[in-house]
Amino acid sequence: MIEKAKAFATKAHEGQVRKNSDIPYITHPIRVAERLQKFGFNEALICAGYLHDVVEDTPVEIEDIVREFGKEVAELVAAHTEDKSKSWKERKQHTIDTVKNAEKEIKYLIVSDKLDNLLGLEQDLKKQGDTVWNNFNAGPDMQKWYNESIVRSMYAGLDEEDIPEYFSEYEAAVKRVFE
């Protein structure tokens, strides 16, 4: 099922590129899923890593995910899918609240995604400088608020043994990028 999810996401994101570059978009979901796989998470969560942006950023609908991958994968994807009809701040506040209150698998998916996005942003800032902010819906101050809020929320409800080491990697990246 993991290879099927990777192929499905690759097809869905075909022709899309990452912000600030011409790198194929699919490289991002691949890194998110590979991080989840590296930490030994279950098949459903790894599949959701590949698929986490398809409903939000392509014509694929959540019903397609249910049909192709089952309810568990679809629920993980749905929990991480933003409602694009809402404002940037409303969407980000919803993600912050989700991270704070969600089951650990959803936290693992969201933080893996946010870490990969932030590492990419960090590279872009080094290469291109502050002009990268022109491609975002919110500037550095709001991005700082958002990422720092994720850090404050991501540990809620987790026992020490349930915290993967990439959470601290994300926390360190937030400090590097925004301080």
pLDDT, tens digit, 9 for 90 and up, residues 121-172: 999 999 999 988 888 888 899 999 999 999 999 999 999 999 999 999 999 9
Three-state secondary structure readout of the chain: CHHHHHHHHHHHCCCCECCCCCCECCHHHHHHHHHHHHCCCCHHHHHHHHHCCHHHHCCCCHHHHHHHHCHHHHHHHHHCCCCCCCCHHHHHHHHHHHHHHCCHHHHHHHHHHHHHHHHHHHHHHHHHHHHHHHHCCCCHHHHHHHHHHHHHHHCCCCCHHHCCCHHHHHHHHHHHHHC
Residue 84 pLDDT greater than 90, yes or no: no
What would be the CATH architecture of the domain defined by 2-178? Answer: Orthogonal Bundle (1.10)
| Rounded mean pLDDT, 12-30 | 93
Q: What is the pTM of this model?
A: 0.95
Q: CA 35 to CA 46: how far, in whole Å?
A: 9
Convert the pLDDT of each residue in 26-59 to its tens digit: 999 999 999 999 999 999 999 999 999 999 999 9
Q: CA 38 to CA 92: how far, in whole Å?
A: 27
The per-residue pLDDT for 73 is: 98
Residue 10 pLDDT greater than 90, yes or no: yes
Mean of the per-residue pLDDT values of the chain:
95
Are the CB atoms for 29 and 13 separated by under 8 Å?
Answer: yes
| Residues constituting the chain | 179
User: Which comes out higher in pLDDT, residue 22 or 7?
Assistant: 7
Q: CA 139 to CA 132: how far, in whole Å?
A: 10
Closest CA to 79 of 57, 50, 101, 59: 101
Q: Rounded to an integer, what is the distance from CA 97 to the centroid of its chain?
A: 15
The per-residue pLDDT for 136 is: 84
Are the CB atoms for 142 and 87 separated by under 8 Å?
Answer: no
End-to-end CA distance of the chain: 41
